[in-house]
Structure formats: C-alpha cells, structure tokens
C-alpha cells in the first residue's frame, strides 16, 4: 500500500475501548452519581475488572497504570483498601447481584501472595454471587511467578490466563528493560496447561524499539510453538507525554508508519497462516475458541480490556484507575494509589471522574463498537434502537461514506469498512467521534 496513504491514515486517534474515550471523562460525575447508578443497577449479570497497579519490574515501553515495588507492604495496604471497596460497592448495589466474569489486570496481578489472594476470594464471595460458570481471567508476567502462585490462582478459580511475551529478541528486550527468555515463558505456559487452564492468550507487541519484521516474525514463531488459544498483537503506543518512563526509549529506534504497517501485516499473515482467525484489529484466536465464534456470530464486544466475549451490560471497575461501564455511563477510580486508599479509608467510593451518557452518545457508542468489532453497522438498527437520538450518527455515516480511498461502503442501511480499509478502522471510527477535537487529549499512532 502506498506510503502517503498509510501516513495519512496513521494520524493519532483513540483505540476506542469506550465512547466517549477516557480523556473526556470529567469530575462532573461524582460519588453521588456513582452511588445512584449502583443503587439503580438491579438487572442482568455483572462483570468485574480488578486492577492491581504493581509490578516487580518496570518495562520502559509500558503504557499501563502501574509502578514497580520492591517491598510487599504497599501491596498489602492496597489490598486492604481493595477489599473494603468491594464491600462498599456491594453495599450500594441491590442485594444478590450475580457476577459472570472477573478480569484481573494491571500491572501484574500475580504479584499478590497466595494467602492475600484467598482473602480477596472470600471478600468477593461474601459480597456477590459468583456464578459457577464465572470466567476468571488473569494477566501474568511470566518472569515473576512460580508454580505455587499459579496453583493459588487456579484455586481462586482462574479459567483464562494472558501471558505477556512482547518480544523475544535480546536487542528489543534490552531497549524496553524487559529481559525474558523463551524457556521461562514456555515453562509458565506448561504449568498453566498442567493446571487445566483451558484458555491461554499470549501478548505480542510490534513497533517496539529496534524491532524489525524478521525479529517480529521470530517472536511470533516462538509464540506459536507454545500453541496458545489466542494471540493479541498490539501496536506499540508511544505516549511519553503520558508515560514519562517511555522517554527512556530513543525515538530514533522506532519504526515509522510504513514499517509499522508492514510489520503488522506480516505478523498477521504469519499468525493466520498458522491457522488462527483474525478477530478485530489486534486479536487472533483458534477457530474453535469462544472469541473466534463470537466474532463469526457478530457478538464480539469491546470494553476497556479490549475485545471480549463478555456480554454483561454492567462492568464494575475495582482498584485504583479502574474504569467501569454502567448503563448510565462510565466511572473511573482515582489513579494515585495513596489517594485511592485514603478515599476508601474515609468510607468514600473512590471515583475520580466519569461520563453520563446521552442517548445520542449511546447510539454513536454502539456504531463505533460495531465498527471496531464487526467492521459494519446498520443505520436501520440504530434508528430502531435509539429513535431520533440516532440522527447524528446516521448523518455521520452519510458523510463518512464519501471516501475516495475505497475504504468504506454504504448502501443506505449498512455502513461497512471494505477489506482494504480494515487496518484503518480506528481512523474511520474517529469520523463518528464528536468529542475528538475537544480538550487536550493526544493519542498514539493509528497503525
């Protein structure tokens, strides 16, 4: 594909894990709103996202809300607050709410020691009805976990594991401060399999410092040899204005848009060539995996963790920085762990900001989620669901359909992204974003 076109479509835009996106959340949504939203939440299954913002190491490329710790004390203090937050949230929710999915993200949730983990399990069980089929997924840093910890997570109820690979090349690992051998990574995957974890995902990143196409393909080959059920291949998001430690990465060692595009394409071809089905912009799954099936059925969803098979209408965020999605709108907890713990100690819900959705926002959010998941949406469906509130997004579809690059089609009902346009879905989705140019948010490259 021509370099000018790639550069034009690589302009920074959000990854659309929500609409409006997090930079547009504001302090106008506060504890009183959140409490009311919880009290009104009486229907459907719940999903929980639990954030553990600690790591044993600090990888220079990392874009997550986390910090490196050398002692366990701050983790223990944080877990006390987290247990209290669970009790507080459950107090406001109508009694007996059922939880169908719990995702542990970070940071590195596996930093928690087994006895504290069991304490957390008891708190969750005391405050919610965890359904027997509950999916419990955990993000794992394979260099700082052992069989005992993994056994504790299994006992906790872990059903899915996501293991961070990123890249196996020594020159790339040195530049991102993330030494990690293939042997230790494969060892963790083997222990997870022996424990009966039926679904294992590996995270790979392209566009890292010094990385070229051949290096990425070698990392993919090694990853495929571990036979994962899913692979996520993310484009490196270089946002040093948000994550200061990323300034330790020399920008001269980063690939430009055309090379990033070529890497993403070659990587996807290698993974698909090994029998995986592409799912959305950055996921691949074995054809019999639930994510691949949901994608084929048009039932894939997208939330703050990325693509998900979880269809719950309510996602409760627990822990510092975590984001929740309730039918009324979004909430985000305080990011700084000290202030988060302080709010909890005062008996307050630790919300920092949020966004109350209008019906027009909901219509646009639905169209953008469908584009990100299915590369298409129906204007007729939006009108049936949202009535006049869908007017704006339907007009946007008409405007966006005038695309001289041949990346979209519109027959008056279905607005679709053509196969050539799919790598640019974020840029096309941005055409529907009414908040994009408001505020000071700066995003990462769209490729």
Ligand X SMILES: C[S@@+](CC[C@H](N)C(=O)[O-])C[C@H]1O[C@@H](n2cnc3c(N)ncnc32)[C@H](O)[C@@H]1O
φ and ψ of 280, to 5 deg: 65, -155
Work out how close the CB of 219 gets to ligand SF4 at its nearest, in angstroms, rounded to a whole number.
15
Alpha-carbon dihedral angle through residues 266, 270, 276, 278, given to the nearest 10 degrees: 0
φ and ψ at residue 406, rounded to 5 degrees: 75, 25
The least distance separating ligand X from the CB of residue 62, rounded to whole angstroms, comes to 5
Nearer to ligand SF4, 110 or 427 (CB): 110
Rounded CA-CA distance 262/275 in Å is: 20
Does residue 171 bind ligand SF4 (CB under 6 A)? no
Helix then strand then coil, in percent of the chain rounded to 5, is: 45, 20, 35
Binder to ligand SF4 among 14, 20, 109, 164 (CB under 6 A)? 164
Count of residues of this chain found to bind ligand X when the rule CB under 6 A is applied: 18
Of 174 and 384, which has the nearer Cβ to ligand SF4? Answer: 174
Binding mask 17-56 for ligand SF4 (x = CB under 6 A): --------------------------------------x-
Distance CA 401, CA 411 (A): 9
| Alpha carbons 335 and 65: distance in angstroms, whole number | 8
3-class secondary structure, 106? strand
Distance CA 209, CA 247 (A): 12
Q: Which of 20, 106, 319, 354 binds ligand X (CB under 6 A)?
A: 106
Question: Rounded to the nearest whole angstrom, what is the least distance from the CB of residue 169 to ligand SF4 in the complex?
Answer: 16
* Residues 349 and 89 sit within 8 Å (Cβ to Cβ): yes
Choose the one of ligand SF4, ligand X, none that binds residue 205, judging by a C-beta under 5 to 8 angstroms depending on kind.
Answer: ligand X
57 binds, among ligand SF4, ligand X, none (CB under 5 to 8 A by kind): ligand SF4
187 close to 225: Cβ distance less than 8 angstroms? no
**Locate tokens 């459907």: which residue?**
44
Of 29, 38, 62, 117, the one binding ligand SF4 (CB under 6 A) is: 62
Q: Which of ligand SF4, ligand X, none has residue 257 at its interface (CB below 5 to 8 Å by kind)?
A: none
Which of ligand X, ligand SF4, none is residue 237 near (CB under 5 to 8 Å by kind)?
Answer: ligand X
Helices (H) and strands (E) in the chain, counts: 15, 19
**The one among 7, 11, 64, 258 contacting ligand SF4 by CB under 6 A:** 64
CA distance linking residue 79 with residue 119, whole number of Å:
9
57-65, 112-120, 236-244, 351-359 -> range binding ligand SF4 (CB under 6 A): 57-65
- Residue 110 C-beta: closest distance to ligand X, Å: 8
Residue 420: how many other CB atoms lie within 10 Å? 12
Q: Does 57 bind ligand SF4 (CB under 6 A)?
A: yes
**Cis bond leading into 20, ω under 30°?**
yes
Binder among 33, 116, 135, 139 for ligand X (CB under 6 A): 139
The footprint of ligand SF4 (CB under 6 A) covers: 55, 57-59, 62, 64, 66, 106-108, 141, 164
């Amino acid at each position: 594909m021509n370099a000018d076109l790639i550069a034009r479509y690589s302009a920074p835009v959000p990854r659309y894990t929500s609409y409006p996106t997090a930079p547009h959340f504001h302090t106008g949504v506060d504890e009183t709103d959140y409490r009311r939203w919880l009290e009104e939440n009486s229907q459907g299954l719940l999903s929980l996202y639990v954030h553990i913002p600690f790591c044993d190491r600090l990888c220079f490329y990392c874009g997550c809300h986390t910090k490196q710790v050398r002692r366990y004390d701050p983790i223990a203090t944080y877990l006390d607050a987290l247990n209290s937050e669970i009790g507080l949230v459950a107090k406001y929710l109508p009694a007996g709410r059922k939880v169908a999915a719990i995702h542990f993200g970070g940071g590195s949730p596996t930093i928690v020691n087994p006895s504290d983990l069991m304490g957390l399990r008891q708190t969750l069980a005391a405050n919610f009805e965890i359904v027997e089929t509950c999916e419990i997924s955990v993000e794992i840093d394979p260099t700082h976990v052992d069989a005992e910890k993994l056994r504790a997570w299994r006992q906790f109820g872990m059903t899915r594991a996501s293991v961070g690979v990123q890249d196996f090349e020594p020159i790339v690992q040195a530049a991102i401060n993330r030494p990690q051998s293939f042997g230790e990574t494969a060892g963790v995957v083997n222990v997870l399999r022996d424990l009966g974890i039926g679904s294992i995902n590996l995270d790979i990143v392209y566009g890292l410092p010094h990385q070229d196409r051949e290096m990425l393909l070698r990392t993919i080959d090694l990853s495929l040899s571990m036979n994962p059920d899913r692979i996520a291949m993310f484009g490196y998001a270089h946002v040093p204005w948000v994550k200061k430690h990323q300034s330790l990465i020399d920008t001269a060692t980063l690939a430009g848009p055309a090379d990033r595009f070529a890497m993403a394409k070659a990587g996807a071809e290698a993974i698909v060539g090994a029998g995986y089905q592409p799912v959305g912009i950055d996921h691949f799954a074995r054809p019999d995996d639930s994510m691949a099936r949901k994608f084929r059925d048009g039932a894939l969803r997208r939330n703050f963790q990325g693509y998900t098979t979880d269809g719950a209408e309510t996602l409760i965020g627990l822990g510092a920085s975590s984001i929740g999605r309730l039918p009324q709108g979004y909430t985000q907890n305080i990011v700084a762990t000290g202030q988060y713990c302080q709010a909890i100690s005062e008996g307050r819900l630790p919300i920092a900001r949020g966004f109350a959705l209008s019906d027009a926002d909901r219509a646009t959010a639905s169209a953008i989620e469908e584009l990100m998941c299915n590369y298409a949406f129906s204007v007729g469906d939006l009108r049936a669901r949202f009535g006049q509130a869908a007017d704006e997004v339907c007009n946007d579809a008409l405007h966006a359909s005038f695309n001289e690059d041949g990346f979209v089609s519109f027959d008056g009902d279905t607005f679709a992204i053509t196969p050539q346009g799919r790598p640019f879905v974020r840029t096309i989705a941005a055409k529907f974003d009414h908040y994009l140019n408001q505020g000071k948010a700066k995003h990462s490259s769209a490729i």
